[in-house]
Amino acid sequence: MMRRSLAIALALLCLAATGCGRAADREDVTAVAERFFAAVGSGDGAAACRLLAADTRKALEDEEQKPCRDAIGGVQIDEARPAAVELYLTNAQADLDNGQRAFLSRTADGWRVSAAGCTTGEGPPEDVPMECELEA
């Protein structure tokens, strides 16, 4: 009985710890970010748009007044690879090897890019929000 209680307590502690049991999410976020930036870099707008969150895709289409696959080529997003990934419940941040960041959200279709081409603004981070080339 004591071992079972200890096992349950350890399992609950593990679930409460950030990142514990989230290796699959971390891998999925990394893979989606890699595929998104590879699609942008190769000019495959259709593939890049399939990896966008629905509200981000709609915001891009509304702003550019054309389908996402045509509009995404006009956004100043540099090809990059995730260098580090942080997970937060249903959101993630990918720090990229070009110094920018991308943000992803977990959707019914899996992880999707919700913002990309993000850089810090002028001033302390707590006072100045990130500026993103692509966001909802």
Strands 82-88 and 130-135, sheet pairing: unpaired
pLDDT category at 125 given cuts 50, 70, 90 is low
Three-state DSSP state, 19: coil
75-80-82-87 Cα dihedral, nearest 10 degrees: -10
pLDDT recorded at residue 21: 52
For residue 4, the surrounding DSSP H or E stretch is helix 2-16
pLDDT category at 4 given cuts 50, 70, 90 is very low
pLDDT category at 19 given cuts 50, 70, 90 is very low
Q: Which residue has the higher pLDDT, 8 or 41?
A: 41
- The structural domains of the chain, ordered by start, are 22-135 (3.10.450)
89 conformational bin, left if phi > 0, alpha if psi -120 to 50, beta if neither = left
Strands 101-107 and 110-120, sheet pairing: antiparallel
For tokens 């748009």, the residue is 49
Q: Which residues of 59-77 are buried (b: 16+ CB within 10 A; e: fewer)?
A: bbbeeeeeebbebbeebeb
Q: How far is CA 111 from the centre of its chain?
A: 7
**pLDDT tens across 20-76, in order?**
557 899 999 999 999 999 999 999 999 999 999 999 999 999 999 999 999 999 999
